[in-house]
Structure formats: structure tokens, C-alpha cells
Amino acid sequence: MDLEKICKQTVSAVKEAGEYIACEKGRKNSINIEEKGLHNFVTRVDTTAEKMLVERLSEILPGSGFITEEGTAEKKDGEYNWVIDPLDGTTNFIHGLPPYSVSVALLEEEKVVAGVVHEINLNECFYSWKGAPAFLNGRQINVSETKKVNDSLIATGFPFTDYSLIRPFLKCLEHCMQKSRGVRRLGSAAVDLAYLACGRFDAFYEYGLSPWDVAAGGFIIQQAGGKVTDFSGGDKFLYGGEIIAANSFVFKEFFQMINGFMEREKK
């Protein structure tokens, strides 16, 4: 299978969806906002973009399955499946606040073999495929070379539906604020991960996430030289709902810090 060709075709499909979303920006009164869960929104733009992606990706890899946020395609294939978030950062989009993005990953069995994250407002497309480095708009990217958490800029996302670990999360956040150069919360996990892959952030952690939030971005980080695990140090970040990511230099220190707050509470 030519993963480079598939990835570049996926980039084109993702950009088409991004162009549609960009055209809908500012049309708040016509995007049909619905609340599918507590503080968890979906719009006509989400579902339309997802349908566009499913149609195009079906042409790129006929017979493949889909794992989608908005449920417009329920089919899951045994070998190859696309993981799609048509609009990561919907709340940002509704309020006219960047960033928000399109995120698509291709799974072979349960392993990601290609990933694309397209940040719409800056027109920045991050992507990679198995066996390749990571790229931003055609230019190779790498994670940062920051050596200590104290010198790091950390990204995270605030819980908005699952508050089961809110107390240790807030303690961890307080610690990160005091022991780093700062903490940022942008509102799109896919963008957070992409920014870590190109060195803008040095580390990231969050819980309460879904596969479509992290599949593409987590893979791109790994291809850019970074490390990604769940809170216990395992590889269950795709389906486990929790993630720690950092460049390879600071990862051990950062992991021990996050693990000490978040994993201990779960036991």
C-alpha cells in the first residue's frame, strides 16, 4: 500500500472540508447548533463536513471503515478504518474564536499509519504517514529540544463533560503553572498536539478525550520525534480517554509529574 499517496490524497480531502468550514464562519444564525451532551455541541457544519470526508475517503480507500465523531458513517472495517473529527473545536467555531481544525487518521488494524490535522484559521496542515517524518505545509517539522519542564510551555484541555478527575486535574494544573513557563488551553486537542509536533508546545496532557481527538495528532507527534502515552505510561491513549505527550527530552520528567497526580487518584 502506498501510504504516501494515500496521505497526500487525504490532505486534499481534509483541506476541502476545511475550505467549507471556513466559508461557514460567522454564520452563527444558520448553522443549527444542537447540544448532544452536557456542553458538547454539534452543528450543521460538523455533520456536513463529516459527510464530505466520508465520501472522499471512501474513494481514496474503497472498502475501508469509519470511526466518526458525529456518527454519519457507522461502518467499521476489519483492517482499515478512518478516524474522523470533522470539526475539532466546535465551541470555538460557534463563538468565532480560533483555533479549530479537521482531524483525520487512518488505522491499519489498531495502529495509526497516517494522520492529518488541518488548522483552518491559519491554513496550516500537519501530516505524516508510517515511515515518514512529519510535515507542516510541506516543510519537515520536529518536536522541540527543551530539556526541562521548568523551561516548557505546556498545553492542556479543560474537562467539559467528565468531571470524575477534576480535583487531581486542578491540582496538577496548579503544579504545572508553577513549574513551567506557562499553561495554554486552546480548545482543540488536535491543534494542541499538532503544535507540540512542530515545537510550539513542549508538553501536553488531558483526559476525557475520544479517539478522533488524538489519533492523528498523537501519531504526528511520534513521527516528529516525540513520545505519547496514557497516564500509566502505556499505549492506550487512543481509546483510553487520557494522554500525555512531550518531546523526548522532557517526557520522563513531565510524565512522572502528571502520573503522580492523575494516575494515583484512579487507583
pTM: 0.93
DSSP 92-160: HHHTT-S--EEEEEEEETTEEEEEEEEETTTTEEEEEETTS-EEETTEEE-------GGG-EEEE---S
Cα gap 6→241, rounded to integer Å: 27
Top CATH class of 149-266 equals alpha beta
What CATH number labels 3-141?
3.30.540.10
- pLDDT value of position 69: 81
With 0-12 / 13-18 / 19 or more C-beta atoms within 10 angstroms meaning exposed / middle / buried, residue 54 is buried
pLDDT of 35 > 70? The answer is no
Cα gap 248→146, rounded to integer Å: 9
Q: What is the per-residue pLDDT across 174-215, written as a single tens digit (0 to 9) for each?
A: 999 999 999 999 999 999 999 999 999 999 999 999 999 999
Where exactly are the structural domains of the chain? 3-141, 149-266
pLDDT of 12 > 80? The answer is yes
Q: What is the per-residue pLDDT across 142-163, written as a single tens digit (0 to 9) for each?
A: 999 999 999 999 999 998 888 9
